Amino acid sequence: MVWHPGRVNRVTDGARSEDQRSSARRRDVPGDRYQPRRRRTTGEPLSASWRPEPGQLEQNPAQARQARRDRGRVRGLTKAYGWRMYALPILVVITALVVFNTARDPAQPAPSGPTGTDASSVTAGSDINEKPALPANLNVPTAALPEGGAFSQGGRMTWHVVPLAQDGTSGKRAGTTGRLYHYTVEVEDGIDPSSYAGDDSYARTVEATLSDTRSWIGTGKVSLQRVDASFPNPDFRVRLTTPDTATRADLCGFGIPFPTSCYIKGFQRSVIINLARWVRGALAFGADMGTYRQYAINHEVGHALGKTHVGCQTNGELAPVMMQQTFGVSNDYVAQLNQVDIYNSKAVPTDGKVCKPNAWPVLNLGDTPPAG
């Protein structure tokens, strides 16, 4: 009997098959022993390594091929994407948690100040976060809203153009020299008309004020003409607006705690007339509602024409129309409020000067010394 170093497979007659004899002849070639997908030869030191795992022989060949393909795909993805393959599921889970928490507890909007400055020219949507806090000893008794009639606190944040009078009494050019400016008269939707005597009354007051020779046309530098909704692109819009809408951050939304009006160039060049002030006026004007309304129109339209804020120039004289008379006619009072307005913080000095209320720019243009 011949001894063999490896496992010997015998056939029924005790002889080896032709394949076994060929394998034995090649067993001394080292490379053949470890070729892929080839059975190892009888030179294997442990014949037990060829013993299949329990149940392996019963595996479906198709399932085995599918398992090998699946393992190949996993190895391919791992080789192509490396650590990203493991990081992606983690990022998906984190994103889902953030979305869930945001939907359950949405971020609260940052509060905009309760009111805006009296006619500050800012662009809609601009960042107004760099405002200093109100001084702890703020004392501006003339800035508070007077007692008076009721008004709508909020509207729909949309406006309608008041049409021109059908009798032809409106829409005429006012002034014969200087650049011609076209404007519309508009009212916010959702306002109770009984508080301001209706659209026509408001529109007549605006047009009559801007057509007066004591208004801006009296300077000889501008002409003004009211138009209706058919005019494609007016130079500015005089809009009666509720207090809640006026205090939005993209309108008059500054940090001064008093109702006020403003001009916003970036918001369709809107002259915002605050309904609360239109109904109740300002303490500096007393019960003279007509003069205050003329002042409010001329002051805000002055911004549309490029004018800026000024203070009282000469003690005891008429106030410049571009002074913030809604808050008072004392420089000391107005200067306190300007501390919270980065656009007017140095417009008015604290010098003790006090003027008299005034509604008309031709008496004092605001950028020249007062008459007399």
Concatenated DSSP letters of 90-142: HHHHHHHHHHHHHHHSPPPPPPPPSB--TT-EE-TT------PPPPTT---GG
pLDDT at 248: 84
Q: What is the pLDDT of residue 66?
A: 74
What is the pLDDT, as a whole number, of residue 109?
A: 38
Contact 131, 340 (CB under 8 A): yes
Confidence check: pLDDT of 175 > 70: yes
Instruction: Check pLDDT > 50 for residue 367.
Output: no
Helix axes 199-210, 289-304, angle to 10 degrees: 70
Count CA within 13 A, CB hemisphere, residue 304: 31
When mean pLDDT is compared across 108-112, 203-207, 239-243, the lowest value belongs to 108-112
Q: Answer with the residue of higher pLDDT: 338 or 240.
A: 240
Lowest-pLDDT range of 211-220, 243-252, 267-276, 336-345: 336-345
Across 106-123, average pLDDT: 37
pLDDT at residue 291 tops 50? yes
- pLDDT for position 257: 83
* Residue 113 in this model has a pLDDT that exceeds 60: no
The pLDDT of 136-150, averaged and rounded, is: 86
As a whole number, mean pLDDT of residues 333-343 equals 74
> Per-residue pLDDT averaged across 88-115, rounded?
54
Q: Which residue has the higher pLDDT, 159 or 83?
A: 159
Average pLDDT over residues 199-206: 98
> Average pLDDT of 5-21?
50
Of 302, 277, 279, 274, residue with least CA distance to 359: 302
Six-digit token string for 33: 């022993």
Average pLDDT, whole number, for the chain?
77
Comparison of pLDDT for 130 and 282, the residue scoring more:
282
What's the pLDDT at 105? 45
Sorted by sequence, the CB contacts under 8 Å of residue 83 that are 6+ apart come out as: none
pLDDT at 98: 58
Q: In this predicted structure, what is the pLDDT of residue 79? A: 63
Write down the pLDDT at residue 91.
Answer: 73
In tens, the pLDDT along 26-68 reads 454 454 545 555 555 555 454 444 455 555 545 567 776 777 7
Q: Which residues contact 306 (CB under 8 A, 6 or more apart)?
A: none
Instruction: Tell me how far apart the alpha carbons of residues 36 and 32 are, in angstroms, rounded to a whole number.
Output: 9
Please report, for residues 146, 253, 338, the alpha-carbon distance to residue 119 in angstroms, rounded to integers and kept in the order given: 19, 11, 12
**Does residue 84 carry a pLDDT above 80?**
no
- At 86 the pLDDT is 64
The mean pLDDT of 341-364, rounded to a whole number, is 82
